[in-house]
Amino acid sequence: MKIKGIVFLLVCFCICVIACDNPEGYIQSPFSQFWGVPGYDESGATRSLSIAAVSFNVDLSPDINRNKMVAFIDKIKAERPDVRLILFPEATLGYYYRPPNPSGYIKSIAEVIPGVTTGVISQKAIEHQIYISFGMAEMSENDLFISQVLVCPGGTILSVHRKNYLTPWDKESGFKAGSGITVDVIDNIRVATIICYDSMFLDINQKISRAGAELVLLPVANLESPFSSMLPNANYVNAWVLSANRIGNEDGNTYDGMLYLSTPSREPRVVSTGKEGYIYGVVKCR
């Protein structure tokens, strides 16, 4: 009886810590998400979208990072000619967080939209006739945003999504919060874009569901964690999810390079972690 009492108290303590340590609206992953995964029925699918997601070692220099993105775009199209959409991680122009002066560093690499990097990526989108989504630090007048830019095959900027929920590092770096979600249509498939921490909040997930999104683009900057293998199951919407994380060490902070495509039934369809590279998959919708 004494052992059972101790176990009960420990469980109660853990529940209280979890409940008190998260901001309002933060979603706790239900345990059921990590149980058996039901298969996704693709029979009867009438629409499809060939996609790729990239992880690469991000450099301090935006010039080097732009060149890496261009090299990956060319490589993917050479190896997977049918790809229609390529996703790059959150904030790829430079290090995600750089002490001791994070805001000073971010201001030194931030760009306006349209600007140098959007111009380079737009040219590649035209050349290969594809959609490209990439993350960057955006400077808008005197404000900084963590933004994800989606460029269409015509080279124009289809949308710019700004991160809603900011981490302590984001705030130290001087970023301001955006609002809402962004939904675009790619090859007759409704595609929503959110950024990293946003995926953990109920209001964002409700907006995605109400918008009828069939594919969610989830660029992230997640540190290496023993729980990384659970990430492909952490979906809260009835949609495909394509996620891309950076890889490598940035001033002592290590990123795991996880890439994944998961089905609306939370089945991890394609997963890669721990290396620079890309994944390829096909999203199928009825």
CATH of the domain at 183: 3.60.110.10
Question: Percent helix, strand, coil in the chain (nearest 5)?
Answer: 30, 30, 40
pLDDT confidence tier of residue 226, bands split at 50, 70 and 90: low
pLDDT confidence tier of residue 225, bands split at 50, 70 and 90: confident
Outline where 155-279 has alpha helix (H): 168-172, 202-210
Residue range(s) defining the domain that contains residue 99: 45-285
Whether 29 is covered by a domain: the verdict is: no
Structure tokens at 78: 């050479």
What does the pLDDT average to over 271-278?
95
Burial of 270 (0-12, 13-18, 19+ CB in 10 A): middle
| Angle between helix 62-79 and 116-128 (nearest 10) | 10
Look up residue 57 and give its DSSP letter. B
Half-sphere exposure of 280 (CA within 13 A, CB side): 13
pLDDT confidence tier of residue 229, bands split at 50, 70 and 90: low
Q: What's the pLDDT at 43?
A: 85
What does the pLDDT average to over 138-143?
96
Whether 245 is covered by a domain: the verdict is: yes
Q: Which residue has the higher pLDDT, 97 or 268?
A: 97
The strand ranges marked E within 117-265 are: 131-140, 143-151, 157-162, 182-186, 189-193, 215-220, 240-245, 247-250, 253-256, 259-262
Structure tokens at 210: 């109400």
Lowest mean pLDDT among 89-98, 110-119, 267-276: 267-276
Task: Compute the C-alpha angle 96/99/102, nearest 5°.
Answer: 60
Of 91, 72, 98, 68, which Cα lies nearest the Cα of 83? Answer: 72
Residue 14 host element (H or E) = helix 2-20
**Residue 49 near residue 239 (C-beta atoms within 8 A):** no
Q: What's the pLDDT at 70?
A: 98
pLDDT confidence tier of residue 176, bands split at 50, 70 and 90: very high
Structure tokens at 12: 């109660």
Residue 280 host element (H or E) = strand 277-285
Query: Is the predicted pLDDT of residue 26 greater than 50, yes or no?
Result: no
Whether 23 is covered by a domain: the verdict is: no
Cα separation values, 277 from 56, 88, 244, 247, 271, Å: 6, 11, 10, 9, 12
The dihedral over CA atoms of 60, 66, 72, 78, expressed in degrees to the nearest 10, equals -160
Q: What's the pLDDT at 186?
A: 98
pTM for the whole thing? 0.87
pLDDT confidence tier of residue 24, bands split at 50, 70 and 90: low
Count the domains in the chain. 1
pLDDT confidence tier of residue 177, bands split at 50, 70 and 90: very high
Whether 268 is covered by a domain: the verdict is: yes
β-strand 47-55 against 85-87: which pairing, if any?
A: parallel
What's the pLDDT tens digit per position in 30-85? 333 333 456 778 888 999 999 999 999 999 999 999 999 999 999 999 999 999 99
Whether 274 is covered by a domain: the verdict is: yes
Structure tokens at 20: 């008190």
Whether 186 is covered by a domain: the verdict is: yes
Cα separation values, 213 from 56, 162, 233, 272, Å: 27, 18, 18, 24
Whether 12 is covered by a domain: the verdict is: no
Q: Which DSSP string do the residues of 96-111 spell out, in sequence order?
A: S--SS-HHHHHHHH-B
Amino acid at 69: M
Whether 63 is covered by a domain: the verdict is: yes
Query: Is the predicted pLDDT of residue 5 greater than 60, yes or no?
Result: no
